[in-house]
Amino acid sequence: MAKYFRPYLTLVAFSILIWSACRTRTEHDRDRVFYYNESNGITSLDPAFARDIEVMWATNQLFDGLVELDSALQIVPCIAKSWDISSDGLLYTFHLRTDVFFHRSPCFPDSSPRRVNAYDFVYSFQRILDPKVASPGSWIFASVDTSHASGFQAIDDTTLAIHLKERFEPFLGILSMQYCNVVPHEAIDYYGKEFRSHPVGTGAFQFFHWMEDVALVLHRNDHYWMRDQQGRSLPYLDAVKIDFVKDMTVEYQGLIQGRYDFMSGIHPAFKDEILTSDGELKSSMQSKLKFQKVPFVKTDYLGWYVDEQSGANVNSPWLLPKIRRAISCAIQKEKMIRYLRNNTVFIANEGFIPPVLNPADTMLYNSFSLQQAEQLLSEAGYPHGENLPPLVISCTSDYTDLMEFIQHDLKQIGVEVQIQVLQGPALREQSAKGQLSMFRKSWLADYPDAENFLTVFASSSFCPAGPNYTHYRNPTFDALYASCRTETNPQQRRRLFAEMNAMLMEDCPIIPLYYDQVSHFVRHEVQGLQTNPLNMIDLRTVYKMTSHAQD
């Protein structure tokens, strides 16, 4: 019995620690603490390893960078109050605020906060590129001229210069990523590899305690530099508590019962309890919850491995673009998202780039048409799917409902579908090695530029080194892609994006299924929760109605 009782005691002890700490700060504890659950857990609190959304959310509260994104994905100042870009696009000069300090930490003399300076950014950026650190974000500085003063140069305490080896129009947006957050060298020297669990940043909240697989607690940074429009110090909250309960049902019940203030996304198992078939919050939930939603810069798709030289599709009819387009035309995407996703996503009929990043391209591609699908199969030499081998689609268990729907649709044109369910790591490994004929994946933008979606199909991005899992290769596409990276005219860039988007839909190495939606379910008493189409939550301006009234 003792082995079952011990985890319970650990959890109780941890809860007592949290609440005793909070009570030293305020008498209305729960009203000043923001609670949410992260079922996937958190692997690190070091921004150098902020690859997954759950790590990004936590590090976004703890750290700041030069720039950040607002709710409309516009790049706005953060620690850099302003910047200049040279006419040739090769030199970025940032002018830093002088009122930003790192959190109190034993790594500093007398544990006093230290002012951030330009040398801290040079150190932080060079650390990302250090092979010994092995940050998964090292690719973000591929355009930096590392032969020129290491690419990063502190002119003085408040002036930072970054030298590029070639113009790269999305570069400023890349600097908004969590990888680019500033860290102090003293903390890295002091904690070493344990910095992952003892983070020291400049963010609105500072680290308090982390019991892995149980919970993480962050406390208000009383020295945070940002203020609201009335001049009041941010953040309003005293603390943030993140649980790591893996059971999504427990998380959902916690939201309904008020133990959690917020939940992102909705599991298919209980989507019908909370949403109508039209994707709106049910009336029975409206007294407790608000449903906040914005288009997500994320596309879910089916991809083919189209390398003619190697992999799963060698000498396969799936290498023929007309057959791939026929498959796309036979899928009833609108019906699929209505019945299987309660209209909480958007039909992907405008290509691979989500409309939120490519508003000028309103063409519809490969729309549902059994007649068109049959015609394309006949033109390819396989009328009504005759002599076609079974199409094996690989996915994880979370998407078997979608694949079964597609299986039924393709049967109407004579195409047999076999569904292969794999664990996530196996799907990633086998798709990276070209061992899967067709696979379900999604692409989430790392930064707010359509170029990020097009790099998925550049021949220079072949996996496993890059994200081109399909091994799509088209010299014309590559030339257009190179142009969009350096083009500065917004209208010309949109034209290039539209041309590449149309080319992808003609060659059809992928079938876009839907553009996702950021879906946040928030308790009514919670106010000021900010997000954006990258699904990045910002807790700086969050407060609860009961606590705010007492301020």
Query: pLDDT tens-digit profile of 273-305?
Result: 999 988 899 999 999 999 999 999 999 999 999
Give the mean pLDDT of 8-13. 45
Q: No. of H helices and E strands in the chain? A: 16, 19
Residues 307, 195 share a domain: no
Task: With respect to residue 444, please indicate whether it lies within any of the assigned structural domains.
Answer: yes
Give the mean pLDDT of 339-351. 88
CATH number where 83 lies: 3.90.76.10
- Choose one of 157, 185, 200: the last residue of a domain: 200
pLDDT category, 3, cuts 50, 70, 90? very low
Task: With respect to residue 390, please indicate whether it lies within any of the assigned structural domains.
Answer: yes
Which tokens go with 471?
């091994």
Query: pLDDT tens-digit profile of 44-76?
Result: 999 999 999 999 999 999 999 999 999 889 999
Residues 182, 325 share a domain: no
Residues 499, 357 share a domain: yes
Task: With respect to residue 276, please indicate whether it lies within any of the assigned structural domains.
Answer: no
Regarding predicted confidence, which is higher, 112 or 90? 90
Question: Nearest 5°: phi and psi at 83?
Answer: -155, 160
- Choose one of 200, 234, 264: the last residue of a domain: 200
End-to-end CA, the chain = 47
CATH number where 460 lies: 3.10.105.10
Task: With respect to residue 366, please indicate whether it lies within any of the assigned structural domains.
Answer: yes
pLDDT score for 5: 37
Task: With respect to residue 230, please indicate whether it lies within any of the assigned structural domains.
Answer: no
pTM: 0.88
pLDDT score for 353: 94
- The CA angle 212-213-218, to the nearest 5 degrees, is 55
The tally of domains found in the chain comes to 2
- Choose one of 141, 168, 200: the last residue of a domain: 200
pLDDT at 497 over 70: yes
3-state secondary structure of 152: strand
pLDDT at 4 over 90: no
pLDDT at 15 over 80: no
Name which of 366, 357, 508 is nearest 445 in CA terms.
Answer: 357
Element (H, E) at 295: strand 289-304
Query: pLDDT tens-digit profile of 146-176?
Result: 886 679 999 999 999 999 999 999 999 999 9
Task: With respect to residue 527, please indicate whether it lies within any of the assigned structural domains.
Answer: no
Residues 190, 309 share a domain: no
Residues 491, 344 share a domain: yes
Query: pLDDT tens-digit profile of 421-469?
Result: 999 999 999 999 999 999 999 999 999 999 999 999 999 999 888 899 9
pLDDT at 308 over 90: no
> How far are the Cα atoms of 51, 483, 494, 495, 496 from residue 361, in angstroms, in the given order?
30, 18, 8, 8, 10
Torsion sign, CA atoms 20, 21, 23, 29: negative
pLDDT score for 514: 95
Domain boundaries, position 485 = 296-516
Task: With respect to residue 311, please indicate whether it lies within any of the assigned structural domains.
Answer: yes
Task: With respect to residue 133, please indicate whether it lies within any of the assigned structural domains.
Answer: yes
pLDDT at 29 over 90: no
Q: What is the mean pLDDT of the chain?
A: 91
- Counting residues of the chain whose pLDDT is more than 90, the rounded percentage is 81
